[in-house]
Structure 1
Amino acid sequence: MPYKGFGNENEVYLIGRVLRDRGIGISAIEDSRFRNFRKMYKRFMTWEIPNARIKATLDGNEWISTTNEEGYFEFEIMNHAFPKTDNSWREVKLELLDQIIPNQGVVQATAKVFIPTKLVEYGVISDIDDTIVPTGATRIWEMVKTTFLGNAHSRMPFPGVSAFYQALEKGTDGMENNPMFYVSSSPWNLYDFLMELLEVHKIPKGPLMLRDLGLSREHFFSGSHFDHKLSQVEKIFRLIPSIPFILIGDSGQHDAEIYLQVIKDYPGRVKMIYIRDVSENRRDHINEIASQISGLGVELVLIQDTIAAAKDALGKGWIRQEDVLDIIKEKTENSES
């Protein structure tokens, strides 16, 4: 199971996992709650393949990685020249070198890696839970029910989100070249589910930076929500060094605090911060953080809905007028349905 990677002209970061295929498949809009629960159960009850060698092939060059005790593998491809082109996605061929079961045959997969093109205006890093899709992340039982009983079709994004993210990906030239990254404290077990959710609701694809449930691994962060998200955002900044970023999150957890630290660690790299207002109790605290961020030369806007963010981005000249009209239309249709 390769996860979407990313990098620059000289370095690529790619991770994935080797697991027994539980036959989860894609979801359907008519799937029952029991069927959804059974699929989600399989995602968490994994059978990992440790100590397995994986070969990555790119442009005729090969690299080898070995899975750890939870089946994860990692490639950090260094000093490889990636010419800037108009195509931002490259393919890396992966092959399992070790025999795990008798008569297994060839086991291969293709990983997609994002390399920014020469036409990028800015990048976008977004949270998922309560930023793109309502999850009740601040209410544990509500979040558990939403996660285990729903599927990619029944989990509806906030109205207008899909069109807004499409507008950000297009920027002002309409070329869909601005990179989109999704950083979440959801576990890697939900990777296929979240990718399907993005595809079903036509939210632009991009690398997902999720969290490991294990406690003993070193390469994949399993610490606090704050530490995990900060480390992943800063990894993106390090590997995509030449462009500014718009950061999007929500007020339910600690996105504003994390983004404040990012600004301190990487001055001049943050273009704008949008925080969805989902917690009335934290509103005053978020405004205090916004004041601190303003003192560092960056604006944080606490938004009530997607339209507010879209109008702000339009006013700053980051998206196109015609795309804002699509956002308003989508939000109206979603709100009425």
Structure 2
Amino acid sequence: MADWKKSLAKFVHRVEQKVDDQRQRGDWVGDGAPRIEPYRGYGMADRAYLKGRVLRGAPAPASRQDQSALLNLAGMIQRFESDEVAGARVRVVHPGGEVTVATDEEGFFEAWIHPDPPFSTNALWHRVELHLEHPAPAAPYVAPADILIPPPTSAFGVISDIDDTVVKTDATSMLRMARNVFLSNAYGRIPFPGVAAFYRALQHGAGAAPFNPVFYVSSSPWNLHDVLTEFLTIQQIPIGPLLLRDWGLSAQEAMPTGHAGHKLAAIRRILDLFPGMPFLLIGDSGQEDPEIYHRVVHDYPDRIRAVYIRNVTPRPERAAAIKRLGDEVQRAGSTLILADDTLACARHAAEQGWIRPETLDEIAEVARDQKEASPAGTKAVNRELSTEG
């Protein structure tokens, strides 16, 4: 590990120890009462998946537009130093029944529910109740959880990464990413030009039934679930289930570096739960998205309509590697687009009839206002892949 990575890990670990000391002395803000943090679930009318976490103490405050870097850091420390409750019991009450689940050592719980009668397909979001059974609260504690049930008329689904795909995070640089994560908030995160309009266009589609579900599969930690939800809301990017991962802080590693295992498992769960739905996969060139999506195309033939990869890596050898993956994706019957910007993906989607052509005007207008430089190698790769004229 590079020296700066070791220094960053030691710094974060020291911060963690300081916070633990404060908590033990009783200086930490919050009453220490257990609470349920629900995450958006998803599924079919008769079967759905739900995840959440049981924590102690008050949640971090919502982002403010004028918030200082110091307050942002304090809020992030509070999020990352969550006091999880292992062995808690949560009762999930749904139409026609209930199921009780226990939390793991990090406070997470998962539940598969089978509503009877099934959820109505006339509504997109359905609410269930989460009751905290143990540790027993001083007063009855119930948290609502929302579950997305896409209508049978959805033409396709979208599975998207977040970091350096939707929002610029510099995920290829651990130091810059740490700065963006710890010193910023939901208002300080800016999406790539045209992303909001493009994702809205994908969600609305080009058919008579204007709703296609959007899922976000990211290596960002569950600790940032509220921040990312705020970001999507502020930027008017379609809300959908966020499938994040657990980060562990230690003196050896400040942030996890592997991505494939988590993302593949999350994507497979979605594809298996919606066996009749085709999907678009959207990611970036900075980490492992091309390799992960290539594997998905191989494992799920005829399910992936296209793979969109934002080129954030100014290295010709990376573009050449993606070109080789693109050749294999084409042989498998799908398409890989290595895109300089959002507009390139949108044009392809419009050509395929997946979005309405008129939505290109809004996306192009934003792209003109906030034009970005194109990393080296993109055009050459796309010419070889026959994805641009």
TM-score normalised per structure 1: 0.92
TM-superposed deviation, 1:335: 5.2
Q: Supply the AA of the counterpart residue of 1:123.
A: G
Distance in 2 separating the partners of 1:25 and 1:33: 14
Runs of at least 5 residues in structure 1 that lack an aligned partner in the other structure: 216-221
Residue deviations 1:292-335, cap 9 Å, x none? Answer: 11110111000000111111111111101222222223334455
Residue 65 in structure 1 maps to residue 123 in structure 2: no
Would the alpha carbon gap of residues 267 and 79 (structure 1) be closer, same or farther in structure 2, given more than 3 Å must change?
Answer: farther
Of the three residues 172, 182, 185, the one matched with 1:148 is 182
SS in 1 for 2:293: helix
Runs of at least 5 residues in structure 2 that lack an aligned partner in the other structure: 1-36, 250-255, 373-389
SS in 2 for 1:321: coil
Distance in 2 separating the partners of 1:23 and 1:114: 24
Would the alpha carbon gap of residues 83 and 46 (structure 1) be closer, same or farther in structure 2, given more than 3 Å must change?
Answer: closer
TM-score normalised per structure 2: 0.80
Distance in 2 separating the partners of 1:211 and 1:130: 17
2:90 touches 2:132 (CA, 8 Å); kept in 1?
yes
2:91 touches 2:133 (CA, 8 Å); kept in 1?
yes
Residue 297 in structure 1 maps to residue 363 in structure 2: no
Query: Which residue of the partner structure matches residue 45 of structure 1?
Result: 81
Would the alpha carbon gap of residues 275 and 143 (structure 1) be closer, same or farther in structure 2, given more than 3 Å must change?
Answer: same
Q: Which moved more, 1:171-180 or 1:4-13?
A: 171-180
Q: Supply the AA of the counterpart residue of 1:5.
A: G
Would the alpha carbon gap of residues 295 and 80 (structure 1) be closer, same or farther in structure 2, given more than 3 Å must change?
Answer: farther
Residue 254 in structure 1 maps to residue 279 in structure 2: no
1:272 touches 1:300 (CA, 8 Å); kept in 2?
yes
Distance in 1 separating the partners of 2:171 and 2:279: 25
Residue deviations 1:202-241, cap 9 Å, x none? Answer: 11011111111259xxxxxx89311111111111101111
Query: Which residue of the partner structure matches residue 54 of structure 2?
Result: 18
Would the alpha carbon gap of residues 82 and 332 (structure 1) be closer, same or farther in structure 2, given more than 3 Å must change?
Answer: farther
Query: Which residue of the partner structure matches residue 267 of structure 2?
Result: 233
The structure with more radius of gyration: 2
Aligned length: 328
Distance in 2 separating the partners of 1:301 and 1:129: 18
SS in 2 for 1:92: strand
Residue deviations 1:28-84, cap 9 Å, x none? Answer: 110000011110110100111121111111113111111122111110124755355
Of the three residues 160, 174, 185, the one matched with 1:126 is 160
2:89 touches 2:135 (CA, 8 Å); kept in 1?
no
The percentage of counterpart residues that share the same residue type is: 43
Query: Which residue of the partner structure matches residue 33 of structure 2?
Result: none
User: RMSD between aligned alpha carbons?
Assistant: 1.9
TM-superposed deviation, 1:88: 1.7
Query: Which residue of the partner structure matches residue 112 of structure 1?
Result: 146
SS in 2 for 1:2: strand
2:97 touches 2:116 (CA, 8 Å); kept in 1?
no
2:157 touches 2:214 (CA, 8 Å); kept in 1?
yes
TM-superposed deviation, 1:23: 3.8
SS in 2 for 1:97: strand
Of the three residues 189, 196, 202, the one matched with 1:162 is 196
Distance in 2 separating the partners of 1:45 and 1:229: 24
2:97 touches 2:115 (CA, 8 Å); kept in 1?
no
SS in 1 for 2:139: coil
1:49 touches 1:70 (CA, 8 Å); kept in 2?
yes
Query: Which residue of the partner structure matches residue 276 of structure 1?
Result: 310
Of the three residues 230, 235, 244, the one matched with 1:210 is 244
SS in 1 for 2:38: coil
Q: Supply the AA of the counterpart residue of 1:193.
A: V
SS in 1 for 2:358: helix
1:8 touches 1:240 (CA, 8 Å); kept in 2?
yes
SS in 1 for 2:83: coil
Distance in 1 separating the partners of 2:198 and 2:229: 18
Query: Which residue of the partner structure matches residue 231 of structure 2?
Result: 197
2:52 touches 2:110 (CA, 8 Å); kept in 1?
yes
1:84 touches 1:117 (CA, 8 Å); kept in 2?
no
TM-superposed deviation, 1:172: 0.7
